[in-house]
Structure 1
Amino acid sequence: MKIDRLYGITVYLLNHKKASASELARKFEVSVRTVQRDIDALCQAGIPVAAESGAKGGYSIPDTFRMDSQAITQEDYGLIFTALKGFSSAMPSPNIASALEKFTALSKPDNERIILDFSVLREGGETLIKQLQTAIRRKCCVRFTYTNADNMTRVHTVEPVALVYRWYAWYLLAYSTVREDYRTYKLVRMEQAEITGLPFTMEHAPAETILREHDRHSPLAHTTVTIRCRPAARSRAIEYLNGTVLRELEDGECEMKLSVIENEHLWFGTLLALGDEIEILEPERIRERVIRTAKNICSLYGQL
């Protein structure tokens, strides 16, 4: 509907500072001419859309412009309420509880169709998360002992920027004054964390910008693993390893493809847990790693 598109264009311009007609056309899947007509309609409705010509030009709305709260529907409020409620299950906070109470009054949810339960994210790290939140808010350095994936332990002093939940774990995005670069630290590997009181040495960019640049310069190396999967392990391989069936084999077996991050350990432990229900076909180094690990386990228990 046109009214939805007009609202969408307004929100997009408020969030992106400036956008060209071609960018808006791609975003909303219409022609450039339609975008131009929509901009004219917004201007006639009193929304101050400014147009700038040239290679770096585009449409923009002044930062001082504020939308009427009536533009947000009850369904919008309901979605925000659902997200806040799910977030509160992961990270209890008086601020989140207060915001949740306000949105409860605004949205008046009478029938929750979506329930987000992130309480599993609270396991083991609630105190540390609160401590790091305090350091981020105060812009103070933190010191902690950290053991990396290679089992090397040392003390780090960093400037914490944000807490990030990704790849099934909490991470701290922080600036290392020693390496003069941004790093991510897995919270479960941190010990003896303390707020030092030392102020930041610099003003940091928004966390999303830093994380995007960090990922671009340090891309995770994904490895494709091909396995032969018996019927009993099929659903678990799809659920826990995000496996994709390549072809069906005899007796209900199948050949499956997995995409894994080789220096992470969760996927490898899952493969071992599936035991003789799966067989690594390639790459050979992963197959040899499984064989070597299996021999070590048998040796430990005196079976070889």
Structure 2
Amino acid sequence: MKIDRLISIVVYLLNHGRTSAQKLAEEFEVSSRTIMRDLESLNQAGIPIQSFYGVEGGYQIMDSFVLEKQVATNHEYDWIVTALEGMASAYASKSLKQALEKVQSISHTRDTAVSVDLSVASEDDKTNEQLMLLEDAIKGKCVVRFSYTNSHDEVKDIQVEPVCLQYKWYNWYLIGYYEKYQDYCMFKLVRMDNLEKTYIKFTKSHNLSNVKMKDNNDNIVHVKLYGKAVIKAKCREYLNGRITQEFENGDFEFSFSVPEHETFWYGVILSFGNRAKIIEPQEIKERIIKICKEIQMEYGE
């Protein structure tokens, strides 16, 4: 919509200063003639846009102009910028970039001592392509289909209504709705292949708060282990739990909660060797024993 583009042009000029019409046209994917009409509309609306000619010519907003910022304090806006910058480091979304631009135009002080870098979440082009396709499908209420390899290495063809995207446990996930089973399910993007948006539309409205709450309560296992003193720091770093009891020799009991069918944390525990022992639940303890026996058989003579 034109009004959205006009606001975005104001925000862009506030953040970037003098900019050529050609650059604005490229940024907003319209013609230079359209940009010129937009700038004239902004002038007529009272936005003081100056024009400069020559090699370094372009358009800029007078320094005396500021956007109203009655919603929050400067420090609160700084926190909003920090959060958006962290999200932008993980996801190359154009709408996210525009949102960040708008808030940055209001907050100039940036006096927060905290930064968030989630760039590890976008370490390959495939993930970004998947995220953009899924975001588009969610906005357009289009069903998606893909091949999915689950935690048991079983490959299945999936067709779901995309509900929302989540970044957790160091991975991106799609929460999708199975119309056939009237239920929600979570899919890890890295396990998807042949992802495509279909032309099948859905009309169901999904309550995101309820969906996320259900997701947080599903398939989570609470584990307690006994650890030797030498692995205390590694438990805190890799298992993200808490020490519930410490003994005189430095050994400890440690509790943590993890997705039951994920394999990463099994590998962490196995890497501790005989310096860690599962106390509960019994089924996890038995699974670790089974894995150890299989490894022994593989390497045994």
TM-score, length-normalised on structure 1?
0.68
Separation of aligned partners in 2, 1:279 and 1:173: 34
Asked whether the 8 Å contact 2:130–2:195 carries over to 1, the reply is: yes
1-structure distance, mates of 2:266, 2:288: 8
After superposition, the C-alpha distances for 1:1-41 in whole angstroms (9 at most, x for unaligned) are xxxxxxxxxxxxxxxxxxxxxxxxxxxxxxxxxxxxxxxxx
Match of 1:219 in 2: 218
1:91 shift after superposition: 0.6
Shift of 1:300: 2.1
Instruction: State the percentage of identical aligned residues.
Output: 35
Distance 2:281 2:212 in 1: 31
Contact 1:144 / 1:155 at 8 angstroms: preserved in 2?
yes
- The 1:104/1:243 distance shift into structure 2, 3 A limit, reads closer
The residue number in structure 2 matching 1:205 is: 206
Distance 2:145 2:71 in 1: 46
> Secondary structure at 2:175's aligned position in 1?
strand
Say if 2:109 is the partner of 1:109: yes
1:223-265, Cα deviation, whole Å (9 max, x unpaired):
33232x1222111112211343333335322233334443332
- Residue in 2 that maps onto 1:298: 296
* Deviation, structure 1 residue 85: 0.9
Q: Is the 8 A contact 1:86 1:116 kept in 2?
A: yes
Match of 1:78 in 2: 78
Partner residue, 1:150: 152
After TM superposition, give the deviation of residue 167 of structure 1 in Å.
3.2
1:120 aligns with 2:90: no
Match of 1:273 among 271, 285, 291: 271
Count of residues paired in the alignment: 232
Report what 2:176 is aligned to: 174
The 1-side partners of 2:258 and 2:181 are apart by: 28
| Matches of 1:119 and 1:131, distance apart in 2 | 19
TM-aligned CA deviation for residue 71 of structure 1: 4.4
Task: Check whether the contact 1:144–1:191 (CA below 8 A) recurs between aligned residues.
Answer: yes
Match of 2:135 in 1: 133
What's the TM-score, normalizing by structure 2?
Answer: 0.69
Aligned match of 1:194? 196
Q: Tell me by how many angstroms 1:298 deviates.
A: 2.9
- Output one character per residue of 1:146-197: Cα deviation in whole Å (capped at 9) or x when no partner: 1222332211111212112233322112222222322222212211111111
User: Take 1:73 and 1:254, find their aligned partners in 2: how far apart are those partners?
Assistant: 45
Partners of 1:155 and 1:252 lie apart in 2 by 50
Give 1:164's aligned residue: 166
Is the Cα–Cα contact under 8 Å of residues 138 and 164 in structure 2 kept in the other structure? yes
Partner of 2:5: none
Deviations along 1:274-302, one digit per CA (max 9) or x if unpaired, are 2222223444443333232123223323x
How many angstroms apart in 1 are the aligned matches of 2:101 and 2:234? 39
CA contact (8 A) 2:228 2:250 kept: yes
Q: Which amino acid aligns with 1:245?
A: I
Aligned-residue CA RMSD (Å): 2.4
CA distance 1:112–1:128, change in 2 (3 Å): same
Consecutive unaligned residues of structure 1, counting only runs of 5 or more, are 1-67
SS in 2 for 1:115: coil
